[in-house]
Each structure stands twice: as C-alpha cells, then as structure tokens.
C-alpha cells in the first residue's frame, strides 16, 4: 500500500521507541506498509452494516475450559520459581525501571 495518509515514518519510530525496538530503515518501511494495510482493512470493516447483528462476548458457546486436573493447575509455578530469574524484585513482585514520565 502506498497511501501514507494515516501513518508516517515518525509514527513508526514513536511506536518502536515505546516498544523499546531498534528498527532498520527497511523494517520501518515494512512496518509502515503493514500497519497502513491493517488500518485500511479496519476502515473497510467500518463500512459493513452491522445493525442486525447481536453483540458477542465470546466466539463459541463452550463455557470455561479447565485443565484435566480441575480448576487448580498443578503445573503452575510457585512465587519463588516465578521470581527466581528476575533481575530485581520487591515485596514478591517484579520490579522494573520506570517507563512513564511523571507528568
């Protein structure tokens, strides 16, 4: 897609920064094309007449699906196992560097 009316290179660089990604010029162009195609597809969906469709919260009528061992998952990690490889923890939680500015 060559229509660049919805996104710019600056938008892709901003998204990459938010995701902490380093992109090559080729990747920037590829993502720009892919995201433009996605946004264009979404715009096409807006044109569909959905007046007679019921809202759907699920894609199937199957209800909850549990592990064979019941509601409890015996394969789940303990808190210590979960945190054992973390660089930094505090009060049983992962501690990460601040990513948002205080404004």
Number of Cα atoms under 13 Å in the Cβ half of residue 57 = 2
Apex 42 CA angle, 31 and 28, nearest 5: 10
User: What integer is the mean pLDDT of 79-93?
Assistant: 93
Q: Is residue 33 part of a domain?
A: yes
At residue 90, the 3 state secondary structure works out as strand
Q: Is residue 92 part of a domain?
A: no
Q: Is residue 88 part of a domain?
A: no
Least confident of 8-12, 47-51, 79-83, 99-103: 99-103
pLDDT tens column, 4-60: 467 999 999 999 999 999 999 999 999 999 999 999 999 888 898 988 888 877 777
Q: Is residue 15 part of a domain?
A: yes
CATH of the domain at 28: 1.10.20
Higher pLDDT, 46 or 75: 46
Higher pLDDT, 20 or 65: 20
| Residue numbers of the domain that contains 21 | 9-46
Q: Is residue 83 part of a domain?
A: no
What domain count does the chain have?
1
């Amino acid at each position: 897609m060559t229509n660049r009316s919805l996104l710019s290179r600056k938008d892709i660089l901003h998204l990459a920064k938010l995701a902490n990604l380093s992109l090559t010029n080729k990747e920037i162009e590829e993502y720009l094309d892919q995201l433009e195609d996605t946004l264009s597809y979404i715009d096409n969906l807006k044109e569909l007449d959905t007046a007679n469709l019921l809202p759907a919260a699920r894609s199937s009528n199957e209800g909850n699906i549990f592990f064979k061992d019941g509601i409890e998952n015996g394969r789940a990690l303990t808190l210590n196992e979960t945190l054992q490889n973390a660089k930094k923890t505090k009060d049983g939680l992962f501690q990460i560097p601040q990513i948002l500015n205080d404004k």
